[in-house]
Amino acid sequence: MKEVTHEYGVDVFWKEHLAKELGGFVEGSYLKIPEEVHSGTRYVLEVSPFATVLIIDATYNQQVTYHQRNSKQDFIGVYFNLTEGDAFHVLDKVSKPVGRWNYNLAIMDSGLDADYIVMEGSETYMISIFIAKTAFKKHLGKLPQFKAVLDAVFDADQNTFIRYERMTNEAWWLIDELRKIDMDDPLYDVFLKGTVYALMADYMDQVAGQEEELIEKVLKEDLTAIINSQLVLLDQITNPFPGIAALAADACMSETRYKTLFKKLTGLSPNVFFLNNKLLLAKQMLEHGEQTIGQIAAQYSFANASHFAELFKNAFGVAPKEHISYL
């Protein structure tokens, strides 16, 4: 296992140190990393004076733990993570799975310490965009719903940028198109810059579609408590929803603060997060074809098969029976 302490930033002062920590060196836009760590490529490009992008396209040949400790707190990291294998964000020994089949888009304030573990054998394709808060503020300032709260959103004493989400289909398509282009292509930098701008525009559309921006200062202890609470919910996924009072008490928070931080972190209320994951797992079981709709409804503690079918259709646009017929 290899442990690496490093930092990121809009300026690329960090890339030589990161390459050295991984046992490699910098050659132009590439970070050349020894095969014993991972095979594949790391590519860094300054997109503009306000944004830099790091591409990782690699297969890990050993477990690597990254300790991100930024010296500059003037940027936001936007991480599109399509890792296939085992990868985790870790806070005080509480780990959150990330990657292609989990939450694959993370927005992280540079002021937060972040630990990231990638296990041996994992295949990673990741686009990390580091964008200056001044540029982010300029874009958000164009959205009417943010004008009244813009200063508070970017006041470090009042707010911390942190969110785990799933990328849109448009973002997935943009990344898939970029992956088809050889990094040695003379026009690769042009394509990469275009992709970065398109991904950020797509994310701004997501932000614009959100009804509220939660302004809340987040501490590392808060993140640990909320991520641990999510894991508790997933462990109890076949049971009825445990209730906000019990969850907030376990997290040592008031109910109001618990609900606020939970939604800030995932964009979802606790009960919607619980229901969405319950339905996704039920959908997987339905596709395996080993149990009936009624059996699945009972296993996941839905009131009855009709209630399960109604919620399933609301979530996926088709009734369970129709979904089975499409398989």
Every domain of the chain and the residues it spans: 2-209, 219-327
Q: How deeply is 41 buried, as exposed, middle or buried, from its count of CB atoms within 10 A (0-12, 13-18, 19+)? A: middle
Question: In CATH, which superfamily holds the domain spanning 2-209?
Answer: Jelly Rolls (2.60.120.10)
Residue 143, class by beta-carbon neighbours within 10 Å (0-12 exposed, 13-18 middle, 19+ buried)? middle
**pLDDT tens, residue order, the chain (327 aa):** 899 999 999 999 999 999 999 999 999 999 999 999 999 999 999 999 999 999 999 999 999 999 999 999 999 999 999 888 877 767 666 666 776 667 789 899 999 888 889 989 999 999 999 999 999 888 888 878 787 788 888 888 888 888 888 888 899 999 999 999 999 999 999 999 999 999 999 998 887 766 566 788 888 888 889 988 988 998 999 999 999 999 999 999 999 999 999 998 888 899 999 999 999 888 888 888 778 889 999 999 998 989 998 998 998 888 888 877 766
* Separation CA 150–CA 233 (nearest Å): 33
CB 287 within 8 A of CB 320: no
CATH homologous superfamily of 219-327 equals Homeodomain-like (1.10.10.60)
**pTM (whole model) above 0.75:** yes
The three-class DSSP label of residue 38 is strand
Provide the 3-class DSSP secondary structure of residue 70: coil
